[in-house]
Structure 1
């Protein structure tokens, strides 16, 4: 079995028996539980160059997500570079946020599961191709208000939730889906926080889709 595909290893708490609840809540119970690993060795560069075109559509991932999540989109050229658009509403605040390339940085592309959090919960021992795929997977990416996103930092569900309470079920379900897809573990505090949120939205489904969990070879060739 490849090294990066092994389970979390010794000390993992077995999932609790499944109870009642929707797909997202049930999926939480299937996530392995383990303590946070050290952040030693983490760097953004370990997940490849930012916004690589891993789906081979000739557009950087950032522009793919801006084009997906914004309305009133204009392009800077005939290709895919997004020049402006509107995030209405912003999922994290519920407010209207305008984007203009080269203007004030008001829209970020957030990793629902941050790269640093992933590093400490399994990604530190992945092969490079899997980390690059993770960093550019649309399932893990969302256009959001920049200032609110920066208050999140590397937080997981136990330490940060969107101020917009109406979005919390969708947000947590997204994190669960990403961790399930990539085989990441959660801490006990994180699992308990996921349970608390999703217990209030018991029919919440998991999002699906995104790109394969291994980037094309050209991104990892030396």
Structure 2
């Protein structure tokens, strides 16, 4: 369960304001995989970061009754001078998991070969995505936050990501941001639409997709 209580967030830059959340009150129940929809710049990624706890709202509170991942595939917290293996081990220690088991999983999943033991700063963007997704999937969470992660990498890796996500989501909740409606329909059973600082929850993902298209003035 994730509950939003009067959550507000506004960005201010060069004298201009952008409202991301305006007194949001909503409940994301357990047993759901939620498609988070909204136009470009609506604040979907910001909302995920607030749910993850890496960004604070200006007002209000977001509460949960289980463990929540960082946005899956996010590589921004990896140390550039540490190897992929060292970064994975560090994350494992932070989350209190068996680091050797995590290393074995990430090395097998990411398929980085000898690069797994080379500095992260030497990685290409695709290699960084492989490492980040592997570490994300190697730690079990009650709720996974997923932000367009399956749009990166080659076709084989995307298929591998989709399969692993499907396995994890059999026993976990998720909040998924994607512009690919087939992906959302495949992964999600509910939806939420972020529009002009308002967040509307739908028990049915098709209703959320329909509302998003109505907001955008588009058709499928």
TM over 0.5: no
TM-score scaled by length of structure 2 = 0.27
Higher helix share: 2
State the TM-score, normalizing by the size of structure 1. 0.27
Structure number with higher strand proportion = 2
